[in-house]
Amino acid sequence: MARNRFFVNEIAEEVALTGDELRHAKNVLRLGEGSEIALLDGSGAEYSAVVTRVERDRMLVHVLGRSEEDREPRTQVYLLLGALKGDKTELAVQKAVELGAAKIGVFSSRYCAAYMNANKLERLNRVSREAAKQCMRTVAPEVVYFEKYGEALKSADGYQNKLFACEFLEKSEGGAERLSGPCALVVGSEGGFSEEEFALAKTLGFRGVSLGKRILRAETAAIALLSIVMYGLGELR
Ligand code: SAH
């Protein structure tokens, strides 16, 4: 059976679980002395460990060994998504992590009706860590926020393939299904994009992609585009 997995900042012979990870280990899973667990430090490695002591504000674990896990996607895929209302951004982050996104950027744009603050961003990063653990990834993708749409687009500089899901485009400007190399994908919020926003993306090297004749909800569009791209990159098979 797969061991319960926990993220820690640094690996040493003796490590303490604190904060969210402590709460999960102690209060939810009720782990105790002798429980075997796995630790992740975000480097791609996984460490086997055993709980040695449970205290009020920390759980001490002893690291036994290290193994390289190979569950991370071979290609970097960066999802840029307009901030969504309610808990829709959380849903999109969770699915993007499962599908193998390496990084997630959330941005505000002209027709975006959701707002962001430090708490919400921390919550999104927590969702990313939980999703990473659940789907057996060894790295939790970082979620970053851009107040300015232009900055979000510029954060994709250097990606070999830059795709822009455009709801008012009749035909894709080149496919999304057979790519190689790092990819940056842009998907709008519920309000969609303005013509000017699409034009700006094109000047920065993005290609417009149509996802068909129906207008998908933003979270559906993000999941669909990510799935198409990941499949094309050889990941989802
Ligand atoms: N409010 C807009 C729809 C926004 S849909 C309208 O009424 O037209 C939210 C986002 O999902 C869009 O900005 C786009 O990035 C993506 N999307 C949804 N359907 C799409 C489609 N058929 N093709 C390409 N992108 C799509």
Ligand 1 centroid to residue 193 C-alpha, Å: 8
pLDDT of residue 46: 93
pLDDT of residue 70: 76
Rounded Cα distance between 119 and 128, Å, is 14
Buried b / exposed e across 147-160, counting CB within 10 Å, b at 16+?
eebeebbebbeebe
Question: Which residue puts its alpha carbon closest to atom 26 of ligand 1?
Answer: 167
pLDDT of residue 2: 67
Digit-by-digit pLDDT tens for the chain (237 residues) are 568 999 999 999 999 999 999 999 999 999 999 999 999 998 889 999 999 999 999 999 999 999 877 789 999 999 999 999 999 999 999 999 999 999 999 999 999 999 999 999 999 999 999 999 999 999 999 999 999 999 999 999 999 999 999 999 999 998 888 899 999 999 999 999 999 999 999 999 999 999 999 999 999 999 999 999 999 999 998
Residue 157: both structure tokens together:
């500089």
Ligand 1 centroid to residue 214 C-alpha, Å: 9
Residue type at position 160: Q
Ligand 1 centroid to residue 187 C-alpha, Å: 8
Rounded Cα distance between 215 and 36, Å, is 47
- On whether the pTM is more than 0.75, the answer is yes
Q: Name the CATH topology of 77-232.
A: Alpha/beta knot (3.40.1280)
Range 4-68: architecture per CATH: Beta Barrel (2.40)
Rounded Cα distance between 58 and 231, Å, is 41
Ligand 1 binding pocket, CB closer than 6 Å: 165-167, 187-188, 191-193, 210-212, 214-216, 218, 221
pLDDT of residue 223: 98
Most ligand 1 atoms within 8 A of CB, residue of 167, 223, 227 to mutate? 167
Residue 140: both structure tokens together:
């939790």
Q: Which residues pair with 183 in a beta bridge?
A: 77, 161
Question: Which residue puts its alpha carbon closest to atom 20 of ligand 1?
Answer: 167
Domain boundaries, the chain: 4-68, 77-232
